[in-house]
Homo-oligomer: A and B are copies of this chain.
Amino acid sequence: MSSALASTATFLDRIGRARAVMAERGVDVLLLSVGSDLPYLSGYEAMPLERLTMLVVPRDGEATLVIPRLEAPRVAEQPGVFSLRPWNETDDPVGIVAELAGTPAVAAVGDTMWARFLVDLLGHWPTSGTRYVRSVEVMNALRTRKDAAEIAALQAAGAAADRVAAQLHAGEIALVGRTEAQVSADISARLIAEGHDVVNFAIVAAGENAASPHHHAGDRVIRAGEIVLTDFGGTMAGYCSDITRCVFTGEPTAEVAEAYAVLHEAQAAGVRAGVVGAACQDVDRAARAVIADAGYGEYFIHRTGHGIGMEAHEDPYMVEGNDQPIEAGHAFSVEPGIYVAGKWGMRLEDIVVATDAGPLSMNHANHALVTIA
């Protein structure tokens, strides 16, 4: 996963910076399992299984990777980063973690760790003795500021997604007469062919289905004369792409064309607002203002964007109420939408990285509502 981009030196640097944040925030131990924080710090990705894998990072002292003995051969050792503590099938791995971590006053636990392991930890460390916080309290300061290699990886993934969008715009992906599910499978295959290791999603929603933002591509046959919303992305060398483009199977109706012009302008306004020093919510406000001013406010039913990196969705979120300042290296989607239930929906999305020179888009595919014959 991230090991393609990171060396032992990188992991040592990251774990050192994580410890500095722990000291600053009074976190005694960081506990990472399933999810991206673990490979970000160690190069190793935990299998999402009932057998616990957990990196125990005390603020002071050596980090230890607690791992099922049968997974241990899969670990690429990183001298100085962590030591291995394999456990046997009849051991209690949570007990091993509790012993390694002592009795922390504050424990930061991985966001996507399975809750069953936290339930077991509560038996060892009830909240009367330990305060639990989310690992983002420690990791966000590192993870949200993408370094040059990470930005390059996001650009490469974005370019691969753009190539699939270009194929869609060129009419190479047949639409009319096929089901949404068939088109979704076609897009998925193209994401892989263009270099992604994994497809994370390929939403295809035709006509009235496009009014459901997370529509699951189904048996609905695409017809002539309707909007088709596609939102797809995958993971390439450990980093994610995510792009949304809408096309129209024929000449757009006046109603749709008019709304799309507003959407197009709103998305561009959101991108322009993504500057270092602005608040995350300013991106949302900028896009939303354009849509509201045009009278479509009630039809924009979700936040404007989410952070992206090793995860398809991660901090920071571009949502009202998030006054966190945008920093250089923050990567996020800008994806306003307009959804008219029972009729049609539309969304337009690029990934943007904030830099000191302004917002840098990872996507350059045509932003227009292209007509597909």
Residues of chain A touching chain B, judged by Cβ–Cβ distance below 8 Å, are 47-50, 69-71, 73-74, 89-90, 109-120, 122, 126-128, 132-134, 136, 211-216, 301-303, 306, 313-314, 317, 319-321, 341
Contacts and interface: CB of A to CB of B under 8 A. Distances in A.
A199 to B, nearest CB: 12
B122 A111 contact: no
A114 B112 contact: yes
**How many copies of this chain?**
2
Contact of A321 (B90, B114, B115, B341): B90
A113 B114 contact: yes
Contact of A302 (B50, B70, B301): B70
A96 to B, nearest CB: 16
Given A116-B111, A118-B119, A122-B132, A313 B89 contact: no
Contacts of A47: 214
B89 A319 contact: yes
A89 B110 CA distance: 23
Contact of A71 (B134, B211, B214, B320): B214
A69 B110 CA distance: 26
Pairs A-B, 4 closest by C-beta atoms: A73-B212, A113-B115, A111-B116, A127-B127
A49 B307 CA distance: 13
Contacts of A306: 50
A89 B303 contact: yes
Given A70-B301, A110-B115, A301-B70, A50 B214 contact: no
Nearest to A209: B73
A321 B92 CA distance: 11
A114 B341 CA distance: 31
Contacts of A320: 89-90
